[in-house]
Amino acid sequence: MSEGVSTRPLLLEIGVEELPAGMQPRLAAELESALQAALREHDLLGEGPARTYSTPRRLAVFCPAVAERQPDREVEHRGPPVSAAFDDSGNPTKAATGFAGRFGVGPEDLERRATDGGEYLFFTEQQTGRGAMEVLGEILPQVIEGLPVPKRMRWGDQEWGFARPIHWLLALFGEDVVPFEVGGISSDRFTRGHRYHAPDPVHLDAADDGEYRGLLHEAFVEADPTERRRQIEAEIRNQAERAGGRIPQGDLIEGLLEEVSGLVEWPVPFTGGFDEKFLELPKEVLVTSMEKHQKFFPVEDGDGGLLPTFVGVANIDSKDPEALRAGHDRVLRARLEDARFFWAEDRKRPLAERVDALKHVVFQAKLGTLFDKAERLAVLAPAVTEAFDPSVASLAERAGWLAKADLLTDMVDEFDNLQGIMGGYYATADGEDPQVAAALAEQYRPGHAKDRLPETATGTALAIADRLDTMVGCFGIGLEPTGTKDPFALRRAAIGVQRMAIEKGIHLDLPDLLGRAFGAFGDRLERSREETVNAVIDFLNDRLEPMYTEAVGQPVYRDVVAGAEQVTAEQGAGAVAGPDKNQVAAILSLRPTDPFDAHLRLKGLLALLAHPNAEALIAANKRIGNILRKAEEEVPEGYDAEALTEAEERALAEAFEGVRPRFQAAVEAGDYTTALLALAELREPADRFFDAVLVMAEDDAVRRNRLALLGTIHAAFLRVADLSKLPG
């Protein structure tokens, strides 16, 4: 937008029935983005950041400066080629007159202009800018109707739908209402306050951000979600302290804060409690009852143990706070009584006695029942232990057999997010080995990218086995993820396997383990063993790139950068950049079958790239690759050192043989940093070789021997990484 143009603020609010908490941030961001894009497209967007607001009953965006009218502008239109616009006598054809007629001018008013594609007719149209009110009346309904809503609700006789029925539309451009209609609702200058405390319309004189927030605040609405969350967090922590405890830290509490902030417009925290007898229940049961079902914040003591207290957040300033508190206490007590009953009843029957009943629970129609899965895990979990701790093989077998038994307990039926966790508690009550109980509790870790890993060897083996079994089964019947569809969470499973292998330093032989997993399915799978195993390995490798290029600061990322930082410090160089797609591709192009080994290779590659010789060495390696690729003859596998005639080629061979033992020993030990840094010593002799030696000599024997020397060096690099994938 040009300087000096008159502007006015714009305020748009969509008033709706209660929006789900998780939907509000995304829709508010989409509304801001779509509105600014539309204003920018129509040359109306002025300076200053937009501000968004959201509550369960509204989505709003405020733009501080919108031009009062579009600028006048010149628009060039290209017409037909001159060869088609005029006949042999130079008279305009229908192509020329038709093009000119579109703009109300004659062919003589058109301009001939040479382009790369030949000479064409052009017309420069002078477009007069339109008033903002007219343009806004068109684009605001388009912005609202274009918001990405996954599942639309319809109301009345409207064919168009939104996330929830719309009840009002506020659209002010300065002091004026922008007239339009969406979903049968006409825009106006009023918003609405709290549903119970201030249900009447609240009129605004103008699009004023401060007035908007102030009037809503008087009407018991805090429109700013960030401020609403801040108020909630401060007050719940204050109330927890007054109750003699504290609100726990962690992702669950952060998620609950975000959710509760989206459930209320006028947050009123309160403190409640429950009978101490319920503290006999597992902590996770109490926390789930409070957080998941009632949206209450648990309160813990200084040692992390739960207190019989909680903090809730009401959406109403009750005239009788004690009655409100008592009502919430009763609801929670009823849930805890149910949980206490489940806890007592479930322990009357050991997990081992429940396994047989898994025959009646289908895992997947083609893959069999959960009993079938338990049998497979009892075989695959001990096989995984061979990679890092064979001493727990028998424990892993037992854990695999019992892994899914808790799915048949009443507690997990009621609190499905406690699967595995309750298995651990019940296994302990049954007298199972502590490692088996821990494995059952840890088997679903990590549940997300930042989740904790299993702590025990048995739990790690079971967690890896469970994921590999599911991936092999799904890929074996063609159920691999497509687009956004991933019903068996295979992407998350793959990342979990990669994280456990890399962060715990476990060398997994994927072809062997996946082959064993395939065999355990018998004749259930539709694809061949080779096809299935290869597909799963490729799928796992595809998950590696984002782990390094997007998960900045996570353990896998930090570790792979650490080696390069050490080399940089030793060389006195600058800061180390994290791995990029090309560097990861240099490893993945070798199609690794051991995630931790691939990690060590990438770590070594970054260390090499931090070395001063890296750039020249990569260029030399690419040059070698190009020479070998263009050679129209078979390159011998080994070279004859005695047949090397030039001093520079002998020097290169001697330098390579000098580092070769160190390189090979490092590769065999998985120390790819040392291996590649050894090859970095070849930079100077390689430079001298290419300056002085003609590789493609006319003498066949000389040429083939030089190609063999270069092929040997090139093969050494390829034992670690494919440097041709790097730029330069």
Q: Which of 203, 266, 206, 204 is nearest to 232 (CA)?
A: 266
* Pairing outcome for strands 7-16 and 166-173: antiparallel
Residue 229 and residue 261 in contact, taking contact as beta carbons nearer than 8 Å: yes
Query: Which pair of structure tokens corresponds to residue 580?
Result: 């990029």
Q: How far apart are CA 507 and CA 515, in angstroms?
A: 16
Phi, psi of 581 (to 5 degrees): -65, -35
Our measurement of the distance from residue 626's CA atom to the centroid of its chain's CA atoms, rounded to an integer in Å, reads: 38
Per-residue buried b or exposed e for 379-408, using 16+ beta carbons within 10 Å of the residue's own CB: bbbbbbbebbbeebbebbbbbbbbbbbbbb
pLDDT for 155: 87
- Alpha helices by DSSP H, 669-699: 672-679, 683-692
Residue written as token pair 């093989």:
393
pLDDT for 552: 65
Q: What is the DSSP letter of 69?
A: B
Q: How far apart are CA 265 and CA 224, in angstroms?
A: 9
CA 500 to each of CA 384, 556, 572: distance values in angstroms, whole numbers, following the listed order? 12, 10, 34
Q: What is the DSSP string of 566-624?
A: HHHHHHT--PPPPP-HHHHHHHHTT--S-HHHHHHHHHHHHHHHTSTTHHHHHHHHHHH
Q: How far apart are CA 714 and CA 704, in angstroms?
A: 15
pLDDT for 660: 94
Phi, psi of 57 (to 5 degrees): -115, 10
Q: How far apart are CA 107 and CA 98, in angstroms?
A: 9
Residue 376 and residue 521 in contact, taking contact as beta carbons nearer than 8 Å: yes
For 242-265, how does the pLDDT look when each residue is reduced to its tens digit (9 = 90+)? 999 999 998 889 999 999 999 999
Query: Which pair of structure tokens corresponds to residue 277?
Result: 């007898």
Query: Which pair of structure tokens corresponds to residue 331?
Result: 């609801």
Cβ neighbors of 454 (< 8 A, separation 6 or more) are 439, 442, 443, 445, 460, 462, 463, 500
* Pairing outcome for strands 51-55 and 181-182: unpaired
Residue ranges of the chain with pLDDT lower than 50?
574
CA dihedral 615, 617, 620, 622 (to 10 degrees): -70
Q: How far apart are CA 262 and CA 228, in angstroms?
A: 9
For 272-283, how does the pLDDT look when each residue is reduced to its tens digit (9 = 90+)? 999 999 999 999
Q: Quick one: CA dihedral 628, 634, 637, 639, positive or negative?
A: negative
- Per the DSSP assignment, residues forming a β-bridge with 127 are 73
Residue 9 and residue 62 in contact, taking contact as beta carbons nearer than 8 Å: yes
Query: Mapping DSSP to helix (H, G, I), strand (E, B) and coil, where does residue 368 land?
Result: strand
pLDDT for 406: 97
pLDDT for 428: 97
